[in-house]
Structure 1
Amino acid sequence: MPLAISHMGVVLGVLVILWSGITAGFGLYLQSCCAQYLDRGTASFFALSQLTYPNAAVMFDGAIAIKCFGVGVSYLIIIGDLMPGVVQGFVGGSPAYDYLVDRHFWVTAFMLIIIPLSYLRRLDSLKYTSIAALISMAYLVVLVVYHFVEGDTLADRGPVRIIHWAGPVPTLSSLPVIVFAFTCHQNMFSILNEIDNNSHFRTTGVVFASIGSAAATYILVAITGYLSFGDNVGGNIVSMYPPGLWATIGRAAIVILVMFSYPLQCHPCRASVDAVLRWRPKPSSSGNDNSPHRHPLLGSRGSRAPEMSDLRFSVITTTILVLSYVVAMTVSSLEAVLAYVGSTGSTSISFILPGLFYYKISSPDSLTHQRLMKEDDEAAEDMLADDSDDGNGDNDSIQTRPLTESGVLRRSTRHWRRTLLRKLSLALAVYGVVVMVVCLVTNSLFIASN
């Protein structure tokens, strides 16, 4: 983030962070809206694909699986790259045993911790490891802010841009860093399935809290980190601080953060791989939710993937772990591959799929949409009737008339909001395509220049 701000300038950089948070949050909000069309606990990309674009479901889930797998592998590579430096920072000089500075040893050692966490079925089971990851991130934030307040990096600080930018090419090269920093959409459906209170107000609050806290953290680290080093700032700001105990703990905090983040990538990767393996092409008539025939896996509102058996769950998880380990052990840099995977996979998950899914499933011609709207209208009328009741059960014509007018007004307001939301969802999908093209072109130019 500090490096991205150095390319954009402080003002433009903060605006881009806020804009990226808003668009990512809107994608999460659309996912929560799409989940309302499905039975409780069955929300997934697979289920929505069956309702909207059944014959394209394999491409959607394939993109999600590749993206999550690539990010998981990058976490293992980060562990292998940082741990030798962490050991040297703690013991000083060269360790007595050479294997302590061997990246392959540390990738193998941390896999022993990651493996049991990756076999947990529910995201809720990872809440304690997630707390540890958040504590590690909090330490990194404090470390950056502390050095800024202390001012011990001013001797190495370069020029600082507040309004001016470094140019369009450097700015566009940093755009993916900010845009993809908010990508968490692969786990949104699992959260919606497991959360105790899945009311619209509650899920919207979760989205606002998550995106808001992330944006605030990014802005704080970006500004304080950039002002500490100016245009001399590097991609990994922790490595720029003077060697010492606190900087070494910071590197260890990064290792803990990515170690506990790996299972959060394995969880959606496993679900998407399972969906890809189950996928079968459908006749065109069965892909229409207006058809009177119902797929055997369809619920009352939509389709859902059957529960994975223990054997299937173990085989898919083991395969993901083994492939991740092999790739991390044999490849030391995945920058080029991850650049393209991130540009396509992250953009699809964050913007394109949420926008397309909601635009399709909320079509007024969709029977699924009409059924849900009827349920909402009946619930709203029941609520109005309860509010208008005088307590004696006597709703005379004087009470019924304003009830009807109020019901019509509320129905009209809801219709206007749904129409606007549908247009914005299409705009988000188009925005995602633009971001994808820009990121792919920028990555291609960057790789070619190197």
Structure 2
Amino acid sequence: MGWPWMTSSLFAAEERASLGRVDSLLSCPAKELPRPGSVGVSYGFSVLNLVNAIMGSGILGLAYVMAHTGILGFSFMLLIVALLASFSVHLLLSMCTQTAVTSYEDLGLFAFGLPGKVVVAGTIIIQNVGAMSSYLLIIETELPTAISEFLPGDYSGSWYLDGKTLLIIICVVIVFPLALLPKIGFLGYTSSLSFFFMVFFALVIVIKKWSIPCPLTLNCMEQYFQISNATDDCKPKLFHFSKESVYTLPTMVFLFLCHTSILPIYCELQSPSKKRMQNVTNTAIALSFLIYLISALFGYLTFYDKVASDVLQDYGKYLPHDAVVRTVRLCFLCAVILTVPLIHFPARKALMMMFFSNFSFSWIHHFLITLALNIIIVLCAIYVPDIRNVFGVIGSSTSTCLTFVFPGLFYLKLSREDFLSWKKLGAFVLLILGGLVGNFSLAVIVFNWINNK
């Protein structure tokens, strides 16, 4: 198999050298990374960075998902996916301990040689570029509306209400400088702010539960219209299944995707060890799980079966002049903006390992790749039509590979444990589950397209 950026002879030579390095390292005894007591990123900042990598715009649709699965059905499935995500991280960290490397790409190299490294790096790049482009699309479409809600008159046509202009300004002033930082640990402060915004979002949903009565009444030109029936629509369902329920599992799988950021955060962790990084992961996933569950539960208990796929739209509809709702919308968009630089790091690292792995760190390479990534995601957000559907297809495959398929497959390949050991059986389950979820997600998206057409 040839690659467009190298000749076949160079490929063969590098692959032989890579496999030689793999064999020599695999012969070494497994041990923890030898940096105890090193100065690095604190435990708290590492947790906040990982929470920021986990949480994104998917939180807006969780109340809608709960409406179509029921409270207990949703809670059970969310817990299972969180535990599986934590287990897959455990496998990644175990492989790093065995092989003495701390990059996802090098795990692919150890497992399947240079093709494995290229596949993992390419998957990371595609998934992260898709995620960043989707986040920027949210900024482009939603930020002008959020700003206009604070303005007293009609300022339509102004440059500060133009989505493309705002997007470019934000990328130049905020995203690019933050993404240019040399270490992911430097984003601990912005991750703290993003986490505060997410907590604020969840608290507002809890508080506003008592500001919107059920049956729901819609205020239209000072006239109130009842749009739901108290007997039928104001009772929470513990379990519920409908045709919309098929979207639940694919949605939940993407909620805890943080695996591309795990190893960069691990490299910079203060006194790094497998156990310490696993504790960071478990804490971050637990915090994310708690915020997800609270937001979904109280959003559902506010609007019940009438909840929209974007819960903030409901609050804008039933509380159109509420200053707190307007503020939380703006804060949520700020949290999304601060997530984009964090996703830059694994994408840039993957590009560096593909093209500049034999070079020492260079600020020129660092600057040019960061700039190129920024330009690509801005152009995708602005000019690619229907980008959510495009990256929905890509995301359904790349996300499940990074979360389930690769950790399971690499562990089965690299571990010398007996196949009947609980870790290898768990890795096999992850591999099968990842394949099923990825194919199912793709089928659901294609089915959606056909129905929409």
TM-score band by shorter chain is 0.7 to 0.9
Decide whether the 8 Å contact of 1:47 with 1:305 is kept in 2. no
Partner of residue 425, structure 1: 427
Decide whether the 8 Å contact of 1:107 with 1:328 is kept in 2. no
Q: 1:311 aligns with which of 357, 364, 381?
A: 364
Q: Deviations over 1:245-302 (max 9, x none)?
A: 1111111112111111001111111111223335xxxxxxxxxxxxxxxxxxxxxxxx
Partner of residue 350, structure 2: 272
3-state SS of 2:237 partner = coil
Rounded Cα–Cα distance in structure 2 between residues aligned with 1:419 and 1:34: 15
Decide whether the 8 Å contact of 2:215 with 2:234 is kept in 1. no
C-alpha displacement of 1:442: 1.0
C-alpha displacement of 1:154: 4.5
Q: How does 1:58-137 map to 2 (within 5 A)?
A: 58-95=118-155, 98-111=158-171, 112-137=173-198
Q: 1:340 aligns with which of 372, 380, 393?
A: 393
C-alpha displacement of 1:334: 1.7
Partner of residue 439, structure 1: 441
**Gaps in structure 1 of 5+ consecutive residues:** 279-303, 365-414
C-alpha displacement of 1:305: 6.9
Structure 1 stretch displaced more, 107-116 or 145-154? 145-154
C-alpha displacement of 1:159: 5.2
C-alpha displacement of 1:312: 1.7
Rounded Cα–Cα distance in structure 1 between residues aligned with 2:153 and 2:126: 39
Q: 2:206 aligns with which of 108, 130, 145?
A: 145
Q: Deviations over 1:24-58 (max 9, x none)?
A: 1111111111111243xx41112111211112321
3-state SS of 2:295 partner = helix
Is 1:29 matched with 2:90? yes
Q: Deviations over 1:379-418 (max 9, x none)?
A: xxxxxxxxxxxxxxxxxxxxxxxxxxxxxxxxxxxx89x9
Q: 1:162 aligns with which of 210, 219, 237?
A: 237
Cα 1:160–1:447, aligned 2, differ >3 Å: closer, same or farther? farther
Partner of residue 299, structure 1: none
Decide whether the 8 Å contact of 1:77 with 1:332 is kept in 2. no
Q: How does 1:169-248 map to 2 (within 5 A)?
A: 169-241=243-315, 242-243=319-320, 244-248=322-326
C-alpha displacement of 1:97: 5.6
C-alpha displacement of 1:205: 1.3
Rounded Cα–Cα distance in structure 2 between residues aligned with 1:359 and 1:343: 23
C-alpha displacement of 1:151: 4.0
Cα 1:338–1:93, aligned 2, differ >3 Å: closer, same or farther? farther
Equivalent residue letter for 1:48? L
C-alpha displacement of 1:141: 0.5
3-state SS of 1:166 partner = coil
Rounded Cα–Cα distance in structure 2 between residues aligned with 1:329 and 1:2: 29
Is 1:356 matched with 2:409? yes
C-alpha displacement of 1:235: 1.6
Q: Deviations over 1:207-240 (max 9, x none)?
A: 2111111111111111110110011101211221
| Structure number, greater radius of gyration | 1
**Gaps in structure 2 of 5+ consecutive residues:** 1-61, 218-227
C-alpha displacement of 1:318: 1.1
Q: Deviations over 1:314-338 (max 9, x none)?
A: 2211111111111222246422112
Rounded Cα–Cα distance in structure 1 between residues aligned with 2:335 and 2:429: 34
Decide whether the 8 Å contact of 1:9 with 1:163 is kept in 2. yes
Equivalent residue letter for 1:24? A
Cα 1:11–1:446, aligned 2, differ >3 Å: closer, same or farther? same
Decide whether the 8 Å contact of 2:88 with 2:403 is kept in 1. yes
3-state SS of 1:53 partner = helix
Decide whether the 8 Å contact of 1:46 with 1:61 is kept in 2. yes
Q: 1:49 aligns with which of 90, 108, 128?
A: 108
